Amino acid sequence: DDGDHVPALVIGSGYGGAVTALRLTRAGIATVVVEMGMAWNTAGPDGRIFCDMLNPDRRSYWLRTRTDQPVGYFLGIDANKPIGRYTGVLDAERFAGIRVYQGRGVGGGSLVNGGIAVLPRRDYFAEILPSVDVTAMYDTYFPRATAALGVNAIDTAWFETADCYRYARVSRDQARASGFATTFLGNVYDFDYMKQEQAGTVTRSALGSEVIYGNNHGKRSLDKTYLAAAAATGRLSITAQHMVTAVAPASLGGYAVTMNQLDTTGATIAVKTVRADRVFFAAGSVGTSKLLVAMRAQGRLPDLPGAVGQGWGNNGNVMVARAQHLWNTTGALQSGMPAMGIDNWADPAGPVFAEIAPFPAGAELWISLYLAITKNPNRAGFAYDSSTGTVGLTWQTAQNQPAVTAAKRVFDKINKAQLTVYRSDLFGGDKVWGDDFTYHPLGGCVLGQATDDYGRLPGYPGLYVMDGSLIPGSTGVNPFVTITALAERNIEKVIATDVG
């Protein structure tokens, strides 16, 4: 029994999934979105939907009994805390050589991320995805994406005076004084709301140490933008707390999609199957790659190309912190939404685009934190383990050395010019470089390699990939605008030629 029949089923409700859902429903197609995480729309006993970074509770992490913070130590001491096991909003998914942070819930990564909305450099986009018409991307699909995402620009005069961006001004001024260019970053967080937070007239969110475990106010996450617009068509249905485990051709035509209904402890309380004419994989770089690699290995989709599961990268992510002099305070109040970056991408010896990241500890710590995006050429692949039935990732921590080397060129120079030093107490074992985790998983089902030039999976009409797995491991900036715009381009083609 292949269960209920639906015309279109989307696996995952992050950027790729939300774009797909809006465009399909607007085209008149009834669409079901299946999301393993929760619908974060109900307040807990404390009156809030999400917890903050200073007081993480069970809502913070996906099925863990202890937090797993990106910056896991302070003064060399483990800063993580016990929590209740729950289907929380942030997953720190552990593979052999890397932790991959991902959002879990209706809205995917948009629930937990820093909201930074940046277009990739045009020449770099042309380099990574040579089969895509660059003019159409920059004239049509990037503008369409930024408008629908609700990207806004910071009031730069306000930025110069706001207490909550003192940390960014200090880092910017020192970068400039050390010979580097800096740039403001667009964001989907409502900067007018943030101004009111700074003025003390509304409930604080970005200024209340809210980021990575969700924002209770101010953030234009996908549930408030793309998914809300899709719901307004009356043709969207979202099934939360259901994890897709299998997709295979159905005897009656289309595909049988099998899923586990989860309770909040992560236990399976029901197994269901739905038959769909078209299935859109939008479970994120890791989720889509794992599912497709498992389906190929298990013989359910045996003809998937060898490129499925290959070409995965971490967008060259590496985190680092500098210790400031006592007279260079970074501020006890720090906006969780970054607004400024150091742009040294044009340096051929080691391109770096570094976001000036907050350290929203609620106390003066004299720490300047950065998330550097580099052009690390190393890639990895997903592999099925038949003995456990799980999918691993071949990435080794040492593969991130090119990212460290590139970032070191920038921050060594800043430290030398400013007479400052690195913090070595934040990443465990006296490490200076947070080189063993990523916020930006990309690739695994690369456009034009694992799929055709519009995300169609060869050999399986009606199966599509629509998320960050299409991007070959790097986009040179924070990736969600690239993922959104590429999905806009691909779904437009699919609706025009395949559907209806």
Does residue 164 bind ligand FAD (CB under 6 A)? Answer: no
Does residue 23 bind ligand FAD (CB under 6 A)? Answer: no
The amino acid that residue 375 corresponds to is: K
For strand 437-438 and strand 99-103, is the pairing parallel, antiparallel, or unpaired?
Answer: parallel
Of residues 325, 297, 336, the one with CA closest to residue 204: 336
Measured CA distances, 226 to 75, 138, 396 (Å): 42, 20, 36
Residues 59, 64, 408, 440: which binds ligand FAD (CB under 6 A)?
A: 440
Site for ligand FAD in 261-290 (CB under 6 A): 282-285, 287
For strand 236-239 and strand 31-34, is the pairing parallel, antiparallel, or unpaired?
Answer: parallel
Site for ligand FAD in 172-231 (CB under 6 A): 212
Q: How far is the CB of 62 from ligand FAD (least distance, A)?
A: 8
Annotate each residue in 77-106 with x if it binds ligand FAD (CB under 6 A) or - if it does not, as one string.
Answer: ------------------------xxxxx-
Instruction: Compare residues 31 and 285 and give the one whose CB is closer to ligand FAD.
Output: 285
Instruction: Compare residues 159 and 366 and give the one whose CB is closer to ligand FAD.
Output: 159
Instruction: Compare residues 112 and 308 and give the one whose CB is closer to ligand FAD.
Output: 112
CA–CA separation, 224 and 113 (whole Å): 15
Residues near ligand FAD (CB under 6 A), total: 39
Instruction: Compare residues 418 and 481 and give the one whose CB is closer to ligand FAD.
Output: 481
Residues 255, 479, 486, 492: which binds ligand FAD (CB under 6 A)?
A: 479
Q: How far is the CB of 478 from ligand FAD (least distance, A)?
A: 3
Cβ-Cβ contacts under 8 Å for 443 (sequence gap 6 or more): 285, 289, 310, 311, 312, 313, 379, 468, 469, 470, 471, 472, 473
Residues 11, 321, 407, 426: which binds ligand FAD (CB under 6 A)?
A: 11
Does residue 439 bind ligand FAD (CB under 6 A)? Answer: yes
Q: Which of the residues 35, 210, 440, 488 is marked catalytic?
A: 440
Instruction: Compare residues 39 and 417 and give the one whose CB is closer to ligand FAD.
Output: 39
Joined together, the tokens standing for residue 271 give 């197994």
Contact indicator for 99, 92 with CB cutoff of 8 Å: yes
Does residue 116 bind ligand FAD (CB under 6 A)? Answer: yes
Residues 9, 16, 293, 423: which binds ligand FAD (CB under 6 A)?
A: 16
Q: How far is the CB of 292 from ligand FAD (least distance, A)?
A: 11
Residues paired with residue 116 on neighbouring β-strands, in sequence order: 187
Instruction: Compare residues 118 and 170 and give the one whose CB is closer to ligand FAD.
Output: 118
CA–CA separation, 424 and 235 (whole Å): 52
Q: How far is the CB of 88 from ligand FAD (least distance, A)?
A: 11
Q: How far is the CB of 288 from ligand FAD (least distance, A)?
A: 7
Stretch that binds ligand FAD, among 79-87, 119-127, 148-156, 477-485 (CB under 6 A): 477-485
Does residue 166 bind ligand FAD (CB under 6 A)? Answer: no
Q: Is residue 93 annotated as part of the catalytic site, yes or no?
A: no
Cβ-Cβ contacts under 8 Å for 127 (sequence gap 6 or more): none
Q: Is residue 488 annotated as part of the catalytic site, yes or no?
A: no
Residues marked active site are found at: 355, 440
Residues at the contact surface with ligand FAD, assessed by CB under 6 A: 11-16, 34-37, 101-105, 108-109, 112-116, 212, 243-244, 282-285, 287, 291, 439-440, 467-468, 478-480, 483
